[in-house]
Structure 1
Amino acid sequence: MSFLASANQSSGEPEDYSYGNWYIDEPTSGGEASQPEKTIPACQHSFPPSLYHTCLAPLSLVAILLLSLLVKRRRLCLGCWHGIFGLPSPLDFLAEESGRLVPVAVFGILFTNLCVLGLDEDPLPFLPISSSTSQGYWKSVALLYYPALYYPLVACATVRHHAGYILGCLLSWAHCGIQIWHKVECPQTPKVYRYYSLLVSVPLLSGLVLLSLWYPVQLLRSWSGRMAPTGPEVMEESYYEDYLRHTLSGKRSKSSSMVTNPSFPSRVLFCFLSYIYIPQRGFRLPLKLIISVTLAVITIYQEALLFLVAFVPILQKARAGITEEITYLLAGFGLVLSEDKLEVIELVKYYLWTLEVCYVSALVLSCLLTFLMLMRSMVTHRVNLRAWHCGATPDGYSQSQRQGLSATAIFCWMSFSGYQTAFVCLGLFLQQVIFFLGFVVFTFLVIIPILYGRNLLLFHILESMWPFWLTLVLAVILQSLAARWAFLENHHGQKELTNRKALYAITFLLFPINVLVGIVVGICRMVISTLYNIIHFCQLDLSLLSHGVDTLDPGYRTYCYYLKMEVSQSHPAMKAFCLLLLQLPGSRRLAGAQAAPRPSDVEEGIHLLQTKKSARNATKSKQSWVRWGLAYTLIRNPSLLAFRKKTLSGLLANGNQSSPPNP
């Protein structure tokens, strides 16, 4: 051996101390070795992101200044240079007649940039970052920079002027063109996954393309003189009229005529349809709810994409790189799957494939359940808003909190969309973790042992404890049968308790066994509560606490105050009533662009409450009923409580006084 070693040293060949040469019986893998994965080189953009932000940030600032001058000049013509500039509002969240397409697209663009910002090493590309320790500070600054960058994209639509649409076209085309140029020029990046940067930007590119098409269409309409708010994305003022017409028309749905005992398929279909939001005529969800649901769907997409590309490719690489060395690694831990090395390799690959299937199945199930809960939330939002419009409140919401508007309601209204997005993100993460662990445990302890007939550890444990489980099952069956046949007597159609002595004896004798049954039931309760809470975690309209302390749930409390803000500031009946006041002959009209009021629109909104085919000679009793319905809706309107007399604030709808008024 020393002679061979000296010969190798003299020949100039270094000794090979690799792990594979320690075993003589291992075949050489010179030609079978897997080729290393090709690394993706860093792509250099011809128009770098630093230059992109350096050019578009000043352009956005100039657009805001021009819009400010335009708004100030249009609203205050005589004193347009007095005071500060009229900063244009991004959109009216509380107006049902405002457009929904532009704010939804801009919020999706902004949130996609925030998702990319979490993994980006250069949060502000136009500022060089010297050290990695300062990235946290610059990311905090970027959280304010990106909203300011995309502020003009949504503000240009609210001005409703030729200049605003021209600026919107320029900004949207610039953002969209450069983003598409970057993705086409460098579709692959070495970060997380080669196509992750392209896939994560799909909502961003979709929103920019949508804005790039919407602004030119609006500009052409403005030049052609057709500036009427038409189209599915614009809420017309007739919505308030439709709402009152459907609310006070007196028509009842035909659902009450259904059979009292429906069949099982009918009940299953009804339960499934209760989770599907179907738009109804005469009602539209508020704009902030639409934005929240859109952001929640984008959150599901972004998080599912990150989970998928961050874990599945690693498992696939690990499965492809399994060699015979895995047998010695498992043998070192005392795990001998088989005497044949090839069989061990196939088993390990199969186990890794099973792990991948469990992970993907858990991810798909989590996304479907989260999306289903969001659809259920939209149905609940409609029910709650209609109840609040009638003066009702959710359970657990105290009557004192309803009196007037508060700073807490304004704060909760501002943070509602952010909370909804964060709750969806956390809920999906919890579901993914819990479902993945559950699938893995069930697969490796139940399914695989049954298929292969080996590693029956769980079944051996259950087999050794069969007397314990048999005792619990017999005790439960005995108590159930005794409660039904021995301790309950039907006397003249009335059920009464009987055999009290035997009942007391069995209760005392079975107490130790009931303690053990209670432990099993407690574990089931914990599992059911955990599954219920993680499934419904994304729903802010549902409290995860009990009825008495449900207001301690911050998500549910935010939702209740959000509804209070929405109803008090954008009640459809109040808006319809204000439109009627503006249509009076003696009232001043804005801008003189609307048509003259008709005489039929004057008297207490009777024209709103009649259908198109109603007869002109309506009876006096029907008019009285219509007027009473309008008065009932207005007296229960939370928006008008602050403007009514204090003596009327404690009155109920039927005329009864709940509590004496405060002096």
Structure 2
Amino acid sequence: MAANSSGAQDAPLDGSLLGTEDLLSDWYIYEPLEPAVPQDDMFPSAIPECDPTITPRLYHICMAPVSLVVLMGLSLLVKRRRLHQSCWNGVPGLLSPANFLEEESNRGPVAAVFGILFSSLCVLVLDQDPLPFLTHSSQSSREYWKILALLYYPAFYYPLVACATLGHRLGYLLGCLLSWCHCLVHVWQKVDCPQSPKIYRYYSTLSYLPIIVCLLLLSLWYPALLIRSFTNQEDKEVAGRGYYKRYLKALLSKRLQKGSSTKLEESFLSRLQEYFRSYIYTPEEGFHIPLKLILSMTTAVIAVYQVALLLLVAVIPTIQIVRAGMTKDIVVLLVQFGLVPSDNPAVPSDMEKELSTAKYYLWSLEVCYICSLVLCCLLTCAMLLRTLVMHRSNLRALYQGAVLDVFYKAHILRPSRRAIVCWMSFAAFQTAFTCLGLLIQQVIFFVCSVAFTFLFVIPLQAGTSSPLFKAIQNMWPFWLTLVVAVLVQTLAAHYQFLEQHPLRKELTNRRALYIVTYLLFPINVLVGVLAGVWRMIISGLYNAVHFCQLDISLMNRGVETFDPGYHSYCHYLKIEVSQSHPVMKAFCLLLLQPARPEGSPELQASNVEEGIQLMQAKKAARSRGRFQQSRARWWLAYTLLNNPSLTACRKTALCDPTANGTQLSPAKP
């Protein structure tokens, strides 16, 4: 009996176990994926590791000593004694990478090398082996190697920019060889191994694209400099002399236009065109933006590309994988949670319509993500162009001494420790703020686009009312009350509470004004809630869009100094204006210009004709010399008027207003 009972008890247990196993086996069936999606596109890990013919380790082992030898050779070629006689007693030292405070220099190679450095930083952050010399580094020591790599890559690419700064044919030749070697190796590596399993199969190739483009630019720029050095045999001028002369010439040639063609009332189309022109930087004659701004804009554009590429390849392939692997079993769960609408959720066998709806939802997410990313990139580039326009406007205002047109309070335009630090880090700040601004914009615009799509677009397409529409429909008395209250206050303020006279406006019906203010206070509280929500949305969108602009502060004027981006920009302007003022540089170059002999030595006149000719020539020479002297004095006066801080650098006798028999006019209010 016991045996029978035990057998009777075991029978249903075994049957239940078998039923459970059948249920589990049915639940965990992996349906085959659609053949339209390749296996390698869905799973990046399926892509095998590819070792190029010239590995990164071999490339750096060979090129690092070559770069070091080139840098030492260039340092020996140009003695430190030629640059600074009192520095290190003439011992050869490192060459300057670029003359950042000079206007005329080889800007192309400098911008290209900075683009290579930033792209290398983007690759370095996501790479498992920060230093190419080391492979399979441990997780604990990887962060230390990344810090060391941050110092290695600037030193590795240092000769590429130092060859252009040297201004010598040998430097241009070495720059050609180095740029060609770097470019050929990078192109060969990506042609040999275009795919990699990191993030996405083509991410490695696409992330190295800015490096290859910059190296191609260097490969073409250095041969052009070398050819120009053989064709141009003229003596080299002081750096920036040509630009400073052109700036002063353009400044002095401006004339006030007779008559004003400005209309009091402009059309809407003309105002719209003027608004769009304010976002487009067009070069102007006689003005060059500083080198630091070119570097910041170059790295900022590359930052937009790198961040957008990372955001694209990190999300879109994942959405495509989920959409391709969507099965009916997953749709059943989505229907049970109410994420996918179903006509008959009690019958899970017929889920073809729900499956297509779920795939359509995922496709909508993908479209929203791509559209928001494109919009963010366009807005960021537009803000960067607007930044260039504002930079030029601010620099020209400070060149003219209009400090209050740029800063809200008076600033002394002179260098300081904080200004030097901000000037050094300005380009890096601009790049970092561009990256963060693009990330913030993508999150905000993606959420807004998804909410608009799933709350408005999809319900309208499906013909069903969304929960938002139902809430608005049920609350129509509330919305109508708010609208009527706002209209009543507006009309009463226009017709009853404001008395308009030809020259002034006065309040009237004050008792009625007080009564309406008291009665509408509760309704105005609700209107204030909506206004507060709108204020939060507008301020968030405005700050997100203008986050990459350092020329404006995202804080109030009283706390502008707590904005690190704007604080860095203000001090950057101080250094640029105090050290690279074009009129000041032109004045200094005019003082350094050697005096030319005027006229010819006195000759004995043999007859009256020759004497008259000599007298006329001598008189012409005197008048020409007097004209040059007068023009030089006028330039000096113009410089001192627009740059009062230079007065302290002159002789103390000239600071006395009566030293030359002149009196200063009273200051204008």
- TM-score calculated relative to the size of structure 2: 0.85
SS at match of 1:489: strand
Name the residue aligned to 2:460.
450
Residues of 1 paired with 2:83 and 2:101: CA distance? 23
Per-residue CA shift, 1:9-34, capped at 9, x if unaligned? 9xxx9x975756259xx9x9569788
Shift of 1:483: 0.4
1:404 aligned onto 2:414: yes
Equivalent position of 1:102 in the other structure: 109
1:581 aligns with 591
Contact 2:207 2:309 in 1 (8 A): yes
Residue 549 of structure 1 aligns to a residue whose secondary structure is: helix
Q: 2:80·2:90 contact (CA, 8 Å) conserved in 1?
A: no
Aligned to 1:593: none
Kindly state the Cα deviation for residue 220 of structure 1 after the two structures are TM-superposed: 3.2
Q: Which runs of structure 2 are paired with 1:70-81 in the superposition (5 Å)?
A: 70-72=77-79, 75=82
Structure 1 alignment gaps of length 5 or more:
588-597, 607-622
| Counterpart in the other structure of 2:281 | 277
What is residue 121 of structure 2 aligned with on the other side?
A: 114
Aligned partner letter, 1:21: D
- Structure 2 distance, partners of 1:146, 1:140, is 11
Deviations 1:135-172 (A, max 9, x none): 11111111110000001000011111122122212211
Q: Separation in 2 of the partners of 1:491 and 1:302?
A: 61
Which range moves more in the overlay, 395-404 or 137-146?
A: 395-404
Find the partner of 1:37 among 33, 36, 39. 39
Distance 1:487 1:553, change over 3 A: same
What is the aligned partner in structure 1 of residue 611 from structure 2?
Answer: none
Q: Which residue of 1 aligns with 2:5?
A: none
Partner of residue 634, structure 1: 640
Q: Match of 1:369, SS?
A: helix
Provide the C-alpha distance between the structure 1 equivalents of 2:271 and 2:341, rounded to a whole number of angstroms: 50
- Which residue, 565, 575, 579 being the options, matches 2:575? 565
The residue identity in structure 1 corresponding to 2:637 is: A
Identity of aligned residues (%): 54
The match for 2:132 is: 125
Aligned to 1:615: none
Counterpart contact for 1:394–1:560, Cα < 8 Å: no
Of 301, 320, 332, the match for 1:328: 332
Match of 2:316 among 312, 316, 326: 312
Shift of the 119–466 alpha-carbon distance from structure 1 to 2, 3 Å rule, reads same
- Partner amino acid for 2:213? S
Structure 2 gaps of 5+ residues are: 1-9, 41-45, 345-349, 598-620, 658-662
**1:387 matched to which residue of 2?**
397
* TM-aligned CA deviation for residue 637 of structure 1: 2.5
Answer whether contact 2:119 2:208 (CA < 8 A) is retained: yes
Deviations 1:66-101 (A, max 9, x none): 111111177279999955323210110011121111
Deviation larger for 454-463 or 204-213 = 454-463
Partner of 2:290: 286
CA contact (8 A) 2:331 2:358 kept: no
1:172 corresponds in structure 2 to 179
**1:459 aligns to what?**
469
The change in CA–CA distance for 1:456 and 1:558 in structure 2 (over 3 A counts) is: same
1:521 aligns with 2:531: yes
Give the secondary structure class of the aligned counterpart of 2:425: helix
Change (3 A) 1:98 1:312: same
Cα distance in 2 between the residues matched to 1:109 and 1:170: 17
The aligned residue for residue 269 of structure 2 is: 265
* Structure 1 equivalent of residue 198 of structure 2: 191
**Contact kept? 1:413, 1:561, Cα under 8 Å:** yes
- Kindly indicate whether the alpha-carbon contact (under 8 Å) linking 1:221 and 1:227 is maintained by their aligned counterparts in 2: no
Q: Which residue identity does 2:100 align to in structure 1?
A: F
Deviations 1:371-391 (Å, cap 9, x if unpaired)?
111111111111100111011
For 1:654 and 1:17, locate their aligned partners in 2 and report how far apart those are by CA, in whole Å.
104
Q: What residue in structure 2 maps to residue 426 of structure 1? A: 436
Aligned to 2:155: 148
Could you tell me how far 1:328 is from its partner in structure 2? 2.2
Contact map agreement 2:399 2:577 (CA 8 A) in 1: yes
Aligned residues: 620
Q: Post-superposition shift, 1:394?
A: 5.0
Hey, what does 1:138 align to over in structure 2?
145
1:549 is aligned to 2:559: yes
Residue in 2 aligned with 1:242?
246
Whether the 8 Å CA contact 2:341–2:354 is kept in 1: the answer is: yes
Alpha-carbon distance in structure 2 between the residues aligned to 1:344 and 1:173: 57
Tell whether the 8 Å contact from 1:390 to 1:633 is kept in structure 2 after alignment: no
Query: Residues of 1 paired with 2:440 and 2:363: CA distance?
Result: 23
Residue equivalent to 1:474: 484
- Contact 1:319/1:352 (CA < 8 Å) preserved in 2? yes
Structure 2 CA distance for aligned equivalents of residues 77 and 266 of structure 1: 55
Q: Do the aligned partners of 2:81 and 2:89 also contact (CA within 8 Å) in 1?
A: no
Give secondary structure in 2 for the equivalent of 1:402. coil
Pick the aligned partner of 2:649 from 635, 643, 658: 643
Aligned to 1:614: none
Retained in 2: the 8 A contact 1:571–1:637?
no
Q: How far, CA to CA, are the matches of 2:258 and 2:165 in structure 1?
A: 41
Which of 16, 26, 29 is the equivalent residue of 1:21? Answer: 26
- Within 1, Cα distance between the matches of 2:97 and 2:112? 13
1:373: which partner in 2? 383
For 1:382 and 1:95, locate their aligned partners in 2 and report how far apart those are by CA, in whole Å.
16
Larger displacement relative to structure 2 (411-420 or 84-93): 84-93
Give the equivalent residue in structure 2 for 1:361.
371
Shift of 1:460: 1.2
CA pair 235-492 structure 1, distance change in 2 beyond 3 A = same
Match of 2:62? 55
Distance 1:69 1:189 in 2: 43
Structure 1 segment 611-630 matched on structure 2, within 5 A: 630=636
Q: Which moved more, 1:219-228 or 1:361-370?
A: 219-228
Instruction: Give 1:260 shift.
Output: 2.0
Alpha-carbon spacing, 1:224–1:456, altered in 2? closer, same or farther (3 Å):
closer
Code of the residue aligned with 1:96 in structure 2: it is: E
Superposed CA offset, 1:323-349 (max 9, x none): 111222224435562234001011001
**In the TM superposition, what is the alpha-carbon distance from 1:410 to its structure 2 partner?**
0.6
User: CA separation in 2, counterparts of 1:30 and 1:379?
Assistant: 57
- Summarize the Cα distance change of 1:218–1:242 in structure 2 as closer, same or farther, 3 Å threshold: closer
1:536 alignment partner, one of 546, 555, 562? 546
Secondary structure in 2 matching 1:541? coil
Give the root-mean-square deviation of aligned CA atoms: 3.6
C-alpha change, 1:31 and 1:541, in structure 2 (3 Å) is: closer
Q: In structure 2, how many angstroms separate the alpha carbons of the residues matched to 1:100 and 1:447?
A: 49
Return the alpha-carbon distance in structure 1 between the equivalents of residues 589 and 501 of structure 2. Answer: 66
Distance 1:641-1:538 versus aligned 2 partners, 3 A rule = farther
Distance change >3 Å, CA 30–CA 529, structure 1 → 2: closer
Name the SS of the counterpart of 2:253 in structure 1: coil
Structure 2 letter corresponding to 1:214: W
* CA distance in structure 2 between the partners assigned to 1:44 and 1:605 by the alignment: 69
Residue in 2 that maps onto 1:611: none
How has the CA–CA distance of structure 1 residues 380 and 585 changed in structure 2, closer, same or farther, with 3 Å as cutoff?
A: same
Question: 3-state SS of the aligned residue for 2:49?
Answer: coil
C-alpha displacement at 1:400, in angstroms? 6.6
Provide the secondary structure at the position in 1 that maps to 2:558: coil
CA separation of 1:257 and 1:657: change in aligned 2, threshold 3 A: closer
Q: Which structure has the greater CA radius of gyration?
A: 2
Distance 2:282 2:415 in 1: 31
In the TM superposition, residue 438 of structure 1 has moved relative to its aligned partner by: 0.5
| TM-score scaled by length of structure 1 | 0.85
| Structure-1 separation of matches of 2:340 and 2:170 | 76
1:485 aligns with 2:495: yes
- Say if 1:554 and 1:599 are closer, same or farther in 2 by CA, change over 3 A: farther
Deviation digits for residues 460-508 of structure 1, max 9, x if unmatched? 1112221211111111000000000111223455432211111111111
